[in-house]
Amino acid sequence: MRLFIFSFVFLFQITIFAQNTSKENSLDSLKIIEYKKRRDQILKFSVEQCKRDSIRAVTDFKTINKFYINTPGPNGSDFPASSELKALLDKLNISYAGTWSGNCFGTYSTGECYYIYSTKLTEEKFGKEAINKLLKQAVYERIEKEPILIFEDNDHLGWLHEGEITIADILLNKYFFENFKYPKRYKKKSEADNSYTEVQVSVNWDEEKLNIEPERYIHHFQDNSNEKYIPYFEKMIADFLKSRNFVFSDRDKVYQGFKRSFKIYYK
C-alpha cells in the first residue's frame, strides 16, 4: 500500500513538473517569436530609413560636397582639429559638416546613411587619400598651436603613435632640438637613433594648470662615455616640457588617458 501511495505521489509530481515545463517552454517560444518579430520590424525600418537617407545624400551631392567624421559612440572623442580641417576643406569647396556617432545598441541612428554616403561620395570625388592627408595636416596645424595634443588619448590620433619610432616622438624630437645644443665633448655616432632617453611622464595636479612633467628617465647611450652628460640631458628635457607649454586644458582629457612616455633620440 505504501509503495502504491509513493508511486502515485511520484507520478503526480512528474505530471505537474511536465505541465509546468511545457508552460515555461511555451512562454519561452512566444518570447523568441516576439523577439524575432520585433527584430524584423527594426531591421525593416532601418533599411527603409537608410534608403531614404542615401537617396537624400545623392540628391544633395549634386549641389554640395559634404564631409562627416565618424566618432565611436557613446563617449568617443571629438575630432581635435575641427577649425583647421574646415579651413582646409573650404579651399576645395567641401563643407565640413562635423562628427556623428552610431547607436551603441545596434539600431539605426538618425541620418546615419546620409552621413556615410555623403562622405563616401565626397571621398570618391576628391580621393580618399587626399582627404586623409588633409585630416593629418589639420592635426599638425593644431599641434603647432596646442602641443599638448601629442599627449592626448584621442580616438582620431592613433596614427600618431604607430610604429617603432612614432610620429608623436618625431614631432617631440623636432621641437626639442630647436633649442638643444650637445655638450662640446659629446661623442656623436654616425648611426642615428641608437642612443636615446625614454621619458616617462605624469601630470602635476598641484597647480591650477595640469602640466606634463618628467617622472622617470631611462637612458641608453651607444658610447658609454656620454653617460656623464645624463644630468644635462635630464635638465634640458625638463626645461623643454615647461617651455613648450604642455598643459591639459581640463581634467576630463586627463581622465580619458594620455601618452605616458616618449623618446628623445641622440646622434
> In a 3-state reduction of DSSP, which class is residue 183?
coil
CA angle at 52 for the pair 85 and 112, rounded to the nearest 5°: 40
Q: Which domain holds residue 246?
A: 148-266
Per-residue pLDDT of the chain (267 residues; tens, 9 = 90+): 444 344 444 444 545 545 555 555 666 676 677 656 666 665 676 788 899 999 999 999 999 999 999 988 767 788 999 999 999 999 999 999 999 987 766 678 888 999 999 999 999 999 999 999 999 999 999 999 999 999 988 889 999 999 989 999 999 999 999 999 999 999 988 777 789 999 999 988 766 778 889 999 999 999 999 999 999 999 999 999 988 878 887 776 676 778 889 999 998
Among residues 142, 173, 204, which one ends one of the domains?
142
- Can you give the pTM of this predicted structure? 0.80
The Cα–Cα gap between 256 and 266 comes to: 32
Residue 5 domain flag? no
DSSP codes joined into one string, 52-116: HHHHHHHHHHTT-EEEEEE--TTTPPPPTTHHHHHHHHHTTTEEEEEEE---TTSSPPTTHHHHH
Nearest Cα neighbor of 212 from 134, 137, 151, 131 is 151
183 and 199 belong to one structural domain: yes
241 Cα distance to chain centroid: 24
138 and 205 belong to one structural domain: no
